[in-house]
Structure 1
Amino acid sequence: MTYRSAWWRPWHDIDLTLLGAVLTLTVLGVTAIRSTGLAQNTWDWWQQSLIALLGVGVVLFLARWPYEWLRRWHWGIYGLANALLVAVMFVGTSALGAERWISIGGFHLQPSEFAKVAVILTLAAVLEQSRAPVLWTIGQGAAVVALPWVLVFAQPNLGTALIFVAITLGMLYWANIPLAWIVLLLSPLVSAILLSLSLPMWGVWVVVMALVGWFSLPWPRIGGLTALVVNLISGQLGQVFWGLLKDYQRERLILFLDPNQDPLGGGYHLIQSRIAIGSGGLWGQGLFQGSQTQLSFIPEQNTDFIFSVIGEELGFIGAIVVVFLFWLICLRLVLIARSSRDGFGSLIAIGVLSMLIFQVVINIGMTVGLAPITGIPLPFLSYGRSAMLANFIALGLVESVANHRRKSFY
């Protein structure tokens, strides 16, 4: 055995394809952030690079140690995450009408990013150990996510609150909850949205959900009636929920349908993003040469709209490369989940998968006008020190699962 192989032995079975895809995205993200900072002469790209280097160290550290020890500490991690979310309410730093950060020695810590990882760990431990009936398992999952969801929604941070929902649903599905029941869990939210858009569509949805409840739940009549009543009530509660949103959140949802209603105000982000991506063409305008990017026409272009920078400067080809890398990451996460030696590790991988898929779909969707603007960053690409570090922690946990799996795969 050579010295090199002996040194690498603790990480012999980590998924190098997954790590390589993430690092490639990170380099692309740092480069795009550098491009956005040329006009303002900012050093965000340098800070992002340092956090990425720290993140790689965290990945290697976590991958070396068996993830099973987290079973004993998941409630402590969960409690710490919620304590930090509570602390935000009292000592948090406000921006854009929300309190989301805690300033520690000049570093703005965003607890909601780390709370996502804590929720994944706790849900994985709870769902793996659950031997209760399916309905009780769903209740356990909902109870775990309820507290951090409320605390994040109160900041207010609607985007991250929705990520918690996506994580929970993905992990419940992997824990063998029937797909029809997952649909029923989502149905109140869909019902609330449809009533505001189209009364006939809402009526059809309510009837369909009643039929799904009738044919899928243990007690057909009670299940069907319950699904019907819940969707009828949630449709009306949607109006109440709408009133709880901040003005800028309501504006984002309205202008998503027609940004030209306010082209110089709330619709400006989406209009400029479309122009930037469209102007990129096939090969792009060239790195550091994008007109929209260099003239700073796109607000938040180094965070929420980083994909617009890539689309403008690297074109359709660059955008497709980004999408392919995310697809490759998701594929590796599924393979790791399938080859894990226990349910705990498998659920961790699926929780990270659910978190990433939701963020990628919503972020890219909002830059091209297929989803409302929600302030959800693009993983490993958008500038954000807390988000970057939290994503690398999640990657480290998955690499630990891969490094200690029961079998290898190609």
Structure 2
Amino acid sequence: MLAKRSLPRVSWKFWVKPWHQVDLLLFCLPIALTIFGGIMIRSTELNQGLTDWWWHWLMGGIGLIIALFIARSRYENLIHLHWITYGITNFSLIAVMVVGQSAKGAQRWINIAGIAVQPSEFAKLGLIITLAALLHKRTASNLDNVFRALAITAVPWGLVFLQPDLATSLVFGSIVLGMLYWANAHPGWLILLISPIIAGILFSISWPLSEQPIVLFNQLSLTALGLIWSATMGLVGFLTLPRKQNVIGGIGAIALNLLGGELGIFAWNHVLKEYQKNRLTVFMNPEHDPLNAGYHLIQSRIAIGAGEWWGWGLFKGPMTQLNFVPEQHTDFIFSAVGEEFGFIGCLVVLVIFCFICQRLLHVAQTAKDNFGSLVAAGVLSMIVFQMIVNIGMTVGLAPVAGIPLPWMSYGRSAMLTNFIALGLVESVANFRQRQKY
């Protein structure tokens, strides 16, 4: 009789080997935020019978599966596909302007199989991949490569801005600045890039401070500050630009800032509508318009302050349960954390985000090539900017920009984008050179 053959035993290492060098903490922390975010969304909708919390977890699960698949795929292949990625990115942004759905004054969504998809969210990833492919050989240590990267960014940025989606266009700006810095661009050049925007703000915006007990600035002093800023940028241009261009560059920096100021005044007086102006400036004094533009900020600050140290407890926050904070399940989810888990709960969330950013930075520093390092740096720039702006607006330190909190705010396209970005970074970590001990 023939002896029975036993099937070979498959070791658990066989199953984990494809992900043997992934950053486990970088996977676990976003998963924890996704689970906690679903719980908080459930709390904001407890008395409304909505199921956004379930969709939040479902999209998080789908995103995690995609991230695991990407993590075991070689990220280097994207270098050869970056122009295809760039073309698809721009095509999707054009398509949403032609056949997209409009909501809240913007045309940002395409209906696919009954699900609203926001191409501008996925365009962030397209921009990161394209810039990483361009800068991995030609670094930003000279101005030609910097302008080349800016020209590539200008097309998707302009398409997003025209939707109009100012919040996402700001995220694009943070991505390109962060990646240029990581690609060895001089910090002074990056300051010069954003300086005309700051000049435009200083020269044009009339801050709603007139009802404050002490007026820190008036329009005259802001104009003087704008002139000082322009002169300072001239000095920065003179000191940081190449020698043959420093004099012309310094004069040009002053001229660009003064032009930025004039354009800011024109946009403020003739382009922006009154509600848009209020939305940009009301965070300085929400009580200036408490029933309209300042309502979100006032309610959010009350909810966070009511939580004190330890909060009211899950499903017990009065502001959250009575729906006093508009859009609390999306842009203002952090206010629910503050009310129901207090200062300690907010601190824990911030610490988790800090650990995520630290792990992203570690992957960027230990990547085996410039392309992988730049991909990780781009994702880091995206996450950091969205976190700072979202939390800043909920506590009244930034304008209400409509930027979601990564992995916690409800948003199906945003959730998939964040997990795909996580998968890309994990692929960089997974295929870096094996560390020797």
> Which residue number in structure 1 is paired with residue 303 of structure 2?
276
Cα displacement (A) at 1:239:
2.0
- Deviant stretches of 4+, over 4 Å: 407-410
Q: Secondary structure at the match of 2:136?
A: helix
Q: Which residue of 2 aligns with 1:257?
A: 284
- Matched to 1:43, the amino acid is T
Matching residue of 2:27: 19
Alignment partner of 1:136 out of 144, 164, 182: 144
1:4-403 to 2 correspondences below 5 Å? 4-130=12-138, 134-196=142-204, 198-218=222-242, 219-242=245-268, 243-403=270-430
Q: TM-score, normalised by structure 1?
A: 0.97
Contact 2:140-2:183 within 8 A present in 1 as well: no
Amino acid at match of 2:169: A
Residue type at the aligned position of 2:357? C
- Aligned mates of 1:345, 1:245 — CA distance in 2: 40
1:191 is displaced (CA, Å) by: 0.8
- How far 1:28 sits from its partner (Å)? 1.2
Judging changes above 3 Å, is the alpha-carbon distance between structure 1 residues 132 and 398 closer, same or farther for their aligned structure 2 residues? closer
Amino acid at match of 1:108: A
State the shift of 1:61 in Å: 0.1
**Aligned partners of 2:191 and 2:417: how far apart in 1?**
29
Q: Distance in 2 between matches of 1:156 and 1:247?
A: 16
Cα pair 1:337 1:349 within 8 Å, conserved: yes
Name the amino acid aligned to 2:233.
Answer: M
Task: Return the alpha-carbon distance in structure 1 between the equivalents of residues 272 and 130 of structure 2.
Answer: 29
CA apart distance, 1:266? 1.2
SS at 2:164's partner residue?
coil
Contact map agreement 1:100 1:155 (CA 8 A) in 2: yes
Identity %: 53
**Greater Rg over alpha carbons, structure:** 2
Counterpart-to-counterpart distance in 2, 1:42 and 1:246: 33
How far has the Cα of 1:204 moved from its partner? 1.1
Assess, with a 3 A threshold, how the Cα gap between structure 1 residues 392 and 225 changes in structure 2: closer, same or farther.
same
Shift of 1:406: 2.1
Q: Are the structure 2 counterparts of residues 402 and 233 from structure 1 closer, same or farther at C-alpha, using a change threshold of 3 Å?
A: same
Matching residue of 2:209: none
**One-letter amino acid of the structure 1 residue matched with residue 414 of structure 2:** A
Equivalent residues of 1:92, 1:100 under 8 A apart:
yes
Q: What's the TM-score once normalised by structure 2's chain length?
A: 0.91
Distance 1:170-1:377 versus aligned 2 partners, 3 A rule = same
Give the whole-Å Cα distance in 2 for the aligned partners of 1:312 and 1:55: 29
**C-alpha contact (below 8 Å) 1:340/1:401 kept by paired residues:** yes
Note if contact 2:141-2:184 (Cα within 8 Å) is conserved in structure 1: no
Letter in 2 for 1:209: M
Letter in 1 for 2:227: G
Tell me, in whole angstroms, the C-alpha distance in 2 between the residues paired with 1:16 and 1:75. 31
| Cα distance change of structure 1 residues 405 and 96 upon mapping to structure 2, 3 Å threshold | same
Kept after mapping to 2: 8 A contact 1:339/1:408: no
Secondary structure of 1:129's aligned partner: coil
SS at match of 2:116: strand
User: 1:220 deviation in Å?
Assistant: 2.2
- Residue 131 of structure 1: how far off its partner (Å): 6.1
Cα distance, 1:324 vs structure 2: 0.5
**Which range is displaced more, 247-256 or 329-338?**
247-256
Aligned to 2:212: none
> For 2:431 and 2:266, how far apart are their aligned partners in 1?
48
Contact 2:360 2:376 in 1 (8 A): yes
Q: 1:75: how far off?
A: 1.3
Distance apart, 1:2 and its partner CA:
5.9
Range with bigger deviation, 196-205 or 19-28: 196-205
Query: Deviation digits for residues 313-343 of structure 1, max 9, x if unmatched?
Result: 1111110011111100110111100100000
- For residue 108 of structure 1, give the secondary structure of its aligned residue in structure 2: strand
